[in-house]
């Protein structure tokens, strides 16, 4: 079998300050090329910590991570497109310049070329005609699309999405989920999403990992069977949701 794109093996993390906190315990998971995988877990269980470790920003206390076979944190950082919960757009930059920022900072190409590449993708991201607008003039959903465009433009193999829709209203979130399902492959080979929205995880993913409250451990792995590309068999999805909720509740009820 081919090596997975991302392999997380027995990762634990304890923070010493401001007080000792065991954030993650023995987390193992994998993401194959072509996969959309989600991690569902309660707030504070270490999801963002895990992402920071995968992206090479934070060192684990134990365990190891390989992304495209690379264990070196710098190599992993260069292979990850990380999108945060907050859109982190610069208010003084317009849509085009915000979208081009990632490429510009990465030094992949000139500012001019970065803007041209971003411009080419605006229609696909529903941002055509808005290139000169500033973040304050956009809806929350549009701002998240700019942030995602900036991330996908980097063309990193692994897309890391840390609760990208958490701050949006339910309707906008639905819209963006459908759109993300159709779009994420345009830049990356695989996606890993963190969310506490079980329905979102099932709707978007091929596979869902469930994490316990802190210290975060993987307590279940649920495969989402689909009957084709747009095959959202409502009954099968509902069963997956039930399985995930059961895993979350078992842990929540434990002493
Ligand atoms: P989640 O993203 O699942 O909500 P986090 O990964 O942000 O959870 O945090 C997990 C735990 O680790 C929390 O208790 C948090 O306070 C703690 N933590 C996160 N980052 C740090 C840090 N840099 N220093 C100390 N504690 C941290
Ligand atoms: Mg978080």
End-to-end CA distance of the chain: 40
Ligand nearest to the CA of 86: 2
CA of 206 to the centre of ligand 2 (A): 22
Does the CB atom of residue 23 touch ligand 1 within 6 A?
Answer: yes
The closest-lying atom of ligand 1 relative to the alpha carbon of residue 162 is: 2
The response to whether residue 24 sits with its C-beta less than 6 Å from ligand 1 reads no
Read off the pLDDT band of 251 (50, 70, 90). low
pLDDT digits (tens, 9 = 90+) for 45-78: 999 999 999 999 999 999 999 999 999 999 999 9
Cβ of residue 46 lying under 6 Å from some atom of ligand 1: yes
Give residue-wise pLDDT tens across range 8-52.
Answer: 999 999 999 888 999 999 999 999 999 999 999 999 999 999 999
Confidence of residue 252 (pLDDT cuts 50, 70, 90): low
Instruction: Name 218's bridge partners.
Output: 211
Q: How far apart are CA 96 and CA 109, in angstroms?
A: 15
| Cβ 21 under 6 angstroms from ligand 1 | yes
Give the ligand 1 atom nearest the CA of 49.
6
Q: pTM for the full model? A: 0.90
* Dihedral (Cα; 37, 76, 122, 147), 10-degree rounding: 80
What's residue 228's pLDDT? 57
Mean pLDDT value of segment 101-119: 88
Distance CA 161, CA 84 (A): 6
Domains and their CATH numbers in the chain: 6-79+156-253 (3.40.50.300), 89-155 (no CATH)
Mean pLDDT of the chain: 90
Task: Tell me what pLDDT residue 18 has.
Answer: 85
């Amino acid at each position: 079998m081919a090596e997975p794109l991302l392999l997380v093996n027995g990762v634990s993390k304890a923070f010493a300050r401001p007080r000792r906190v065991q954030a993650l315990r023995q987390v193992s998971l994998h993401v194959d090329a072509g996969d959309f995988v989600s991690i569902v877990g309660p707030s504070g269980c270490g999801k963002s910590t895990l992402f920071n470790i995968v992206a090479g920003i934070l060192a684990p206390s134990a365990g190891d991570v390989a992304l495209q076979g690379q264990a070196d944190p710098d190599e992993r950082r260069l292979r990850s497109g990380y999108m945060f919960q907050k859109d982190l757009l610069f208010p003084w930059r317009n849509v085009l310049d915000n979208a081009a920022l990632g490429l510009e900072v990465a030094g992949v190409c000139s500012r001019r070329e970065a803007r041209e590449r971003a411009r080419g993708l605006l229609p696909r991201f529903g941002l055509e005609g808005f290139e000169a607008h500033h973040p304050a003039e956009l809806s929350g959903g549009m701002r998240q699309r700019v942030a995602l465009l900036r991330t996908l433009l980097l063309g990193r193999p692994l897309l890391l999405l840390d609760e990208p829709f958490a701050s949006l209203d339910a309707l906008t979130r639905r819209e963006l989920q459908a759109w993300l399902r159709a779009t994420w492959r345009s830049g990356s080979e695989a996606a890993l999403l963190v969310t506490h929205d079980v329905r979102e995880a099932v709707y978007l993913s091929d596979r869902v990992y469930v994490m316990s409250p802190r210290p975060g451990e993987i307590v279940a792995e649920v495969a989402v069977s689909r009957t084709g590309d747009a095959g959202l068999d409502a009954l099968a999805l509902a069963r997956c949701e039930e399985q995930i909720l059961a895993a979350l509740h078992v842990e929540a009820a434990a002493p």
